[in-house]
């Protein structure tokens, strides 16, 4: 909170008096006004109302008395800054404008009252804030003495404010379990960390040192009880596992890679590498933009491996609260906290024993857990949260990310040694814009899926929509395409899907014939292999191929013929 300027504190009951008057005359005027004493044009002193009340009237002239020259300050001067600069010589202050006009006087008693009022206001705001936030808040001094303890802290720990204020916080908690004391020693803030101040209490903590003039004078911590979050996360994890298991059981294709749709060279190259490494035990790092199908590849690799009969467990590192990461990955022992299962809970590493653990969005893994994951990769063992016995697992790790891990390593967000442990086999999945030849097959697959789901007849796709799809950049990749097809399947009426049902970001492109032939069209026309009645068809095929950037599957759909017929005509006219 910003402090006030001196002009807001000054007393404007001020009179100017010449120094040739007597003290008796001055004291009579000082009953109601502060007096600024002048010797001709020079200010030589100030007689405040408070001072006048303790002086004895005499006929001695003012210029015969000893006066301390007053401080002359501009009205905009900050009160706190002034007090810091003149802490050792505080006295009456004359507030004077830039033109030399005396505006008022600030006495020491006014300064003290102002500072006390400011402190009282700040303290009231602070206490109100403590009882407004949802978290348990504790404030300790540099010595570890509790100075503030809000109502939520009282409820969470069943410790009243009266019983803890003014006492060492270590009297109520194990010293080794106190993050606030660690902050006093190290001076480093804590953000959204999983913390256990008591064996039965699990919280998410934010804590910071209080620094004054470069020195740590205390610490503040806010803690949120996450027991309910733990329970909800367990239920969600169970439901997700059940859903994944159901998907695995209902998979109809015998080829694990059969669900990956695409015949283009880029995706086929990626599938080829995935097939080769599936039967190895090497750790795999799958990279690619969001929505390209990284988890689909991870599932296919697992099903095509010797571990296919064992569990495939997927963990989205970006979807789990940071505070729950450790217990989610490594599990916890029985009775570790209130509300926990008595027998404990195995983590994802244990559940995937003998099988594959897929760590999606590995770039979101908290740095403190990166070290522990590295040890698992090296030693194949770990400890449950709260456990003392090491557990050994035979789990293959497949990780995925859409982030640039090289940049994260340089910025210190990702450990370099973990990166090299994960990146034994690198598998890069191309974005959809780099494999537009696969878009028609993807569209047909999704159309079939959603027409069955919504009990609708399979519609015909307007060629203009296909052209729009082929020219669109697809920042959301296959996931975005799938969502658009679902939208079309839901909104479409009749048997033809046209551009009116497209979202705004897929607005129709100009599908007219180009005003000037492109290199592909020019090359075809220069051949001049056929004339007469076939020349029109040759031109039509050439311009259609140009529209689809050479994509023959899409061109065939635009021409209204099968892909086989198009290949035949290309060969017939010498265009193949």
CATH code at 105?
Answer: 3.10.580.10
For residues 235 and 514, the model is more confident at: 235
Nearest to 503 by CA among 475, 522, 530, 542: 475
Structural domain boundaries enclosing 490: 433-506
Determine how β-strand 201-212 pairs with β-strand 215-225: antiparallel
Same domain membership, residue 176 and residue 63: no
Mean pLDDT is highest, among 9-23, 347-361, 526-540, 553-567, for: 347-361
Determine how β-strand 381-382 pairs with β-strand 391-392: antiparallel
Global pTM reads 0.49
Same domain membership, residue 372 and residue 414: yes
What is the mean predicted confidence (pLDDT) over 293-306?
95
What is the Rg, in whole angstroms, of the alpha carbon atoms belonging to the chain?
39
**What pLDDT, on the 0 to 100 scale, is given for residue 41?**
82
Judge whether residue 236 has pLDDT over 90.
Answer: no
Contact between residue 351 and residue 394 where contact means Cβ atoms under 8 Å apart? no
E strand or H helix at 274: helix 265-278
Give the CATH number, domain containing residue 367. 3.40.50.300
Instruction: Record the tokens describing residue 555, joined without a space.
Output: 């061109």
E strand or H helix at 287: strand 284-287
Q: How many domains would you assign to the chain?
A: 5
Same domain membership, residue 300 and residue 416: yes
Q: Cα separation of 442 and 436, whole Å?
A: 10
Residues 175-214: pLDDT tens digits? Answer: 766 777 878 877 888 887 767 677 667 787 888 999 888 8
E strand or H helix at 316: strand 312-316
Give the range among 271-280, 400-409, 559-568 with minimum mean pLDDT: 559-568
What is the mean predicted confidence (pLDDT) over 437-459?
86
CA distances from residue 88 to 84, 145, 217, 453 in whole angstroms, order as listed: 9, 31, 24, 83
Nearest to 130 by CA among 105, 98, 152: 152
Same domain membership, residue 423 and residue 342: yes
Q: Cα separation of 364 and 371, whole Å?
A: 14
E strand or H helix at 273: helix 265-278
- Cβ-defined contacts of 271-274 (< 8 Å, 24+): 273/425, 273/427, 274/300, 274/301, 274/304, 274/427
Contact between residue 18 and residue 38 where contact means Cβ atoms under 8 Å apart? yes
**What pLDDT, on the 0 to 100 scale, is given for residue 431?**
95
Picking from 225, 240, 259, the residue at the C-terminal end of a domain is: 225
Same domain membership, residue 445 and residue 476: yes
Judge whether residue 366 has pLDDT over 90.
Answer: no
Classify residue 331 as exposed, middle or buried by CB count within 10 Å of its CB (0-12, 13-18, 19+): buried
For residues 433 and 513, the model is more confident at: 433
Q: Cα separation of 115 and 38, whole Å?
A: 30
Picking from 203, 225, 247, the residue at the C-terminal end of a domain is: 225
Judge whether residue 489 has pLDDT over 70.
Answer: yes
Q: 518: pLDDT confidence band, cut at 50, 70 and 90?
A: very low
Same domain membership, residue 232 and residue 221: no
Q: Cα separation of 360 and 349, whole Å?
A: 14
Same domain membership, residue 372 and residue 456: no
Q: Cα separation of 207 and 224, whole Å?
A: 12
Same domain membership, residue 59 and residue 173: no
Instruction: Kindly give the interhelix angle for 552-559 and 563-572, rounded to the nearest 10 degrees.
Output: 100
Instruction: Record the tokens describing residue 225, joined without a space.
Output: 């009880």
Q: Is residue 120 part of a domain?
A: no
Same domain membership, residue 327 and residue 243: yes
- The per-residue pLDDT of the chain, averaged, comes to 82
For residues 436 and 192, the model is more confident at: 436
Cα three-residue angle 434-435-436, rounded to 5 degrees = 105
Residue found under tokens 């902050």: 183
Length of the chain, please?
576
Q: Cα separation of 448 and 461, whole Å?
A: 12
Nearest to 465 by CA among 446, 484, 493: 484
The separation between the first and the last C-alpha atoms of the chain, rounded to the nearest angstrom, is 77
For residues 511 and 138, the model is more confident at: 138
Residues 7-52: pLDDT tens digits? Answer: 888 888 899 998 898 989 889 888 889 999 988 888 988 998 888 8
Instruction: Record the tokens describing residue 371, joined without a space.
Output: 């070290």
How many CB atoms sit inside 10 A of residue 27's CB? 18
Strands of 71-73's sheet, edge to edge?
71-73, 93-96, 102-106
DSSP 116-176: HHHHHHHHHHHHHHHHHSSSEEEEEETTSBEEEE-HHHHHHHT--HHHHTTSBGGGTS-GG
Q: Is residue 232 part of a domain?
A: yes
Same domain membership, residue 311 and residue 396: yes
Residue found under tokens 């009953």: 31
Which positions ≥6 away from 443 have C-beta within 8 Å?
A: 461, 466, 469, 481, 485
Same domain membership, residue 265 and residue 161: no
Residues 57-105: pLDDT tens digits? Answer: 889 898 888 888 888 888 888 877 888 777 777 788 888 888 888 988 9
Positive or negative, the Cα torsion across 253, 259, 262, 268?
negative
Picking from 398, 428, 458, the residue at the C-terminal end of a domain is: 428
Q: Is residue 1 part of a domain?
A: no
Same domain membership, residue 385 and residue 312: yes
Q: Is residue 451 part of a domain?
A: yes
**What pLDDT, on the 0 to 100 scale, is given for residue 232?**
62
Q: Is residue 513 part of a domain?
A: no
């Amino acid at each position: 909170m910003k402090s006030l300027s001196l002009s807001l504190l000054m007393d404007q009951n001020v009179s100017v008096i010449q120094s040739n008057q007597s003290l008796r005359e001055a004291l009579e005027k000082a009953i109601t006004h502060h007096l600024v004493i002048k010797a001709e044009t020079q200010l030589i002193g100030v007689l405040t109302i408070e001072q006048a009340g303790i002086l004895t009237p005499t006929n001695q002239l003012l210029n015969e008395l000893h006066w301390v020259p007053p401080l002359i300050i501009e009205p905009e001067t900050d009160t706190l800054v002034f007090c810091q600069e003149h802490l050792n010589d505080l006295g009456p202050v004359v507030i004077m404008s830039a033109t030399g006009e005396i505006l008022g006087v600030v006495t020491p008693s006014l300064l003290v009252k102002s500072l006390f009022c400011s402190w009282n206001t700040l303290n009231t705001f602070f206490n109100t804030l403590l009882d407004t936030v949802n978290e348990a808040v504790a404030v300790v001094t540099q010595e570890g003495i509790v100075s503030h303890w809000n109502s939520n802290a009282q409820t969470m720990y069943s410790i009243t404010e009266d019983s803890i204020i003014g006492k060492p916080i270590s009297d109520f908690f194990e010293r080794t379990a106190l993050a606030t004391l660690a902050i006093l020693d190290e001076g480093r803030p804590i953000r959204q960390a999983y913390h256990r101040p008591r064996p039965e209490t699990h919280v998410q903590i934010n804590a910071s040192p209080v620094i004054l003039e470069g020195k740590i004078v205390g610490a503040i911590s806010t803690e949120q009880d996450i027991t309910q979050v733990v329970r909800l996360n367990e239920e969600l994890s169970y439901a997700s596992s059940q859903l994944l298991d159901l998907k695995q059981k209902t998979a109809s294709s015998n080829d694990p890679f059969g669900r990956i749709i695409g015949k283009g060279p880029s995706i086929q190259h990626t599938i080829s590498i995935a097939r080769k490494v599936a039967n190895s035990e090497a750790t795999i790092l799958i990279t690619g933009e969001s929505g390209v199908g990284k988890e689909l590849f991870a599932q296919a690799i697992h099903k095509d491996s010797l571990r296919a009969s064992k569990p495939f467990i997927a963990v989205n590192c970006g979807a789990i609260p940071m505070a729950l990461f450790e217990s989610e990955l490594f599990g916890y022992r029985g009775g570790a906290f209130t509300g926990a299962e008595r027998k404990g809970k195995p983590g994802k590493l244990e559940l995937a024993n003998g099988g594959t653990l897929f760590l999606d969005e590995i770039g979101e893994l908290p740095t403190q857990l990166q070290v522990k994951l590295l040890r698992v990769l090296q030693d194949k063992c770990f400890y449950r949260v709260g456990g003392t016995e090491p557990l050994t697992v035979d789990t293959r790790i497949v990780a995925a990310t859409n982030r640039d891990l090289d940049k994260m390593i340089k910025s210190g967000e990702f450990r370099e040694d973990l990166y090299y442990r994960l990146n034994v086999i690198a598998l890069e999945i191309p974005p959809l814009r780099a494999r537009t030849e696969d878009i028609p097959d993807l569209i047909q697959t999704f159309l079939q899926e959603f027409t069955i789901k919504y009990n609708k007849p399979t519609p015909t796709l307007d060629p203009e929509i296909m052209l729009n799809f082929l020219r669109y950049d697809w920042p959301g990749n296959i996931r975005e395409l799938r969502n658009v097809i679902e939208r079309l399947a839901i909104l479409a009426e009749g048997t033809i899907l046209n551009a009116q049902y497209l979202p705004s970001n897929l607005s129709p492109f100009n599908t007219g014939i180009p005003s000037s032939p492109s290199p592909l069209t020019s090359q075809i026309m220069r051949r001049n292999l056929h004339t007469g009645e076939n020349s029109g068809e040759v031109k039509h095929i050439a311009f259609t191929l140009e529209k689809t950037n050479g994509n023959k599957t899409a061109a065939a759909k635009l021409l209204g013929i099968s892909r086989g017929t198009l290949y035949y005509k290309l060969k017939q006219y010498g265009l193949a």
